[in-house]
Structure 1
Amino acid sequence: MQLYKFRSLDNFQFVLDIIVNKRLYAATFDAMNDPMEGFYTADDDIPDELIKSLQEHRKTLKFCSLSKYSNNPLMWAHYGSGSRGIVIGVEVKEEEDIREVIYGSHSHLMASNPSTLERAKNVLSFKAGFWQYEDEVRVFADKGNYISVKVTEIIFGERVDRTQKALLKKIVKATNPSIKLTEWNDEMLYVHSEPVFKV
């Protein structure tokens, strides 16, 4: 599955870690940008000990946030350092636990789902509706702090620093020349296939 990671170039070593080590860092939910992250409602007949276990899983589960699209201007502004950063295209193995985020409501837990771990992942797959522009996909880490990926593409932002771009291109060509290097152009400025034109 092809997905995208928006990155600033301010912490250059984090970008290099993705490219050279072919991995993405997975964080716990309390490091996410939504203050309502991890909220849920539950049926009354779910035992207290299961709720407690769910909360423990929720605190320790780690996942990586990616986007389905590389050309959303809001994502470039918020996570691509105002188009001064890059987007890294990656392929995630199909056997990974990949879930599209559901927007607009909280997870509601029902007693019919017996797995506490599955309930916790369900809770962490919901976000408030105002985050919908992110088109987020979450990949849950099976173990450890990283998720292995195949890096397929790097898209340079419109305002990326020339020196950083030149250096990154040299590093990519020396370490993994199969990665496609793409320059930003105005034709890429689309949101859900709806064109946006500059005046």
Structure 2
Amino acid sequence: MGEDDVLYKYRGIKEFRYFVDIVLNKRFYAAPYFDLNDPMEGHYLYNSGELDSDVRDLIKSQKEKLRICSLSKVADNELMWSHYAEGHRGVAIGVTVNESKHAVVPVDYDGPLQIERVGIHNATAQEILSHKLKVWSYEEEVRVFIRNKQYVDVKVEEVLLGRSMSKQDIGFIKKLIASVDESIEVKGASSKYD
């Protein structure tokens, strides 16, 4: 990833206070891995007898110290709009992340990571949490990992308005953005199917 790559967070606006928090405070919430929506999150593979309970406990402890902000490389993914932005009634917030302050890692969709005792090191938890099942590949996810805080600082570059958003919500969002930071571009979402 590059410093200038714009990444996207799809959000509904039913919980409008979260959108306002993102825009006003230029930050995204980072969740512990066990709060994410994939039930296989944080799972890994190992050969029977190769990792004793102390090593497994160490890995679990490492994973629990990390927090994750999930973003997408793409702004025009219909499934993402449907699943995370209230069926195009929400927004996709385009941001840049300072990679010198945060670990920004593209997700590999090759299933749970296979680890060996000889390969255990401090980055193991982050590596485990950077692998997902292929079924999730449509998300084109990039993860921002942090420790010891709940929010990832971002620069909001643009706000894409869902194609099914009400005129009232569009007007309110445009007015809000203009009063907070005029450099943030506000525009309608496009579709690769238009």
Which residue pairs with 2:108 in the alignment?
Answer: 102
Does 2:77 correspond to 1:72?
yes
1:138 correspondence with 2:140 = no
Alignment partner of 1:189 out of 183, 188, 191: 191
5 Å-filtered alignment, 1:29-178, equals 29-43=33-47, 44-95=49-100, 96-115=102-121, 117-178=122-183
**Quick check: 1:71–1:189 contact (8 Å CA) kept in 2?**
yes
State the identity %: 34
CA distance in 2, matches of 1:128, 1:83: 26
* 1:144 positional shift: 0.5
Q: What is the DSSP-based 3-state SS (H/G/I as helix, E as strand, rest coil) of the residue aligned with 2:170?
A: helix
Amino acid at match of 2:23: I
Matched residue, 1:27: 31
| Matching of residue 16 in structure 1 with residue 30 in structure 2 | no
Backbone CA RMSD of aligned residues: 1.4
Consecutive unaligned residues in structure 1, runs of 5 or more: 191-195
Q: SS of 1:9's equivalent?
A: coil
Q: Distance in 2 between matches of 1:163 and 1:55?
A: 46
- Taking structure 2 as the reference length, the TM-score comes to 0.91
Q: Residue 102 of structure 1 aligns to a residue in which SS?
A: coil
Determine if contact 2:65/2:148 at 8 Å carries over to the other structure.
no
Equivalent residue for 2:6?
A: 2
Question: Offset of 1:58 from its aligned partner?
Answer: 1.6
Determine helix, strand or coil for the equivalent of 1:127. Answer: coil
Give TM-score scaled by structure 1 length. Answer: 0.89
What is the letter of the counterpart of residue 48 of structure 1? S
Secondary structure of the residue aligned to 1:37 is: coil
The residue type paired with residue 61 of structure 1 is: L
Q: 1:4-43: per-residue Cα shift (whole Å, max 9, x none)?
A: 0000000100001111100000001111111111110125
| Cα contact 2:7–2:94 (8 A) shared by 1 | yes
Superposed displacement of residue 47, structure 1: 4.5
In 2, distance between residues paired with 1:59 and 1:161? 40
SS at match of 1:144: coil
Structure 1 residue 114, shift from structure 2 partner: 4.2
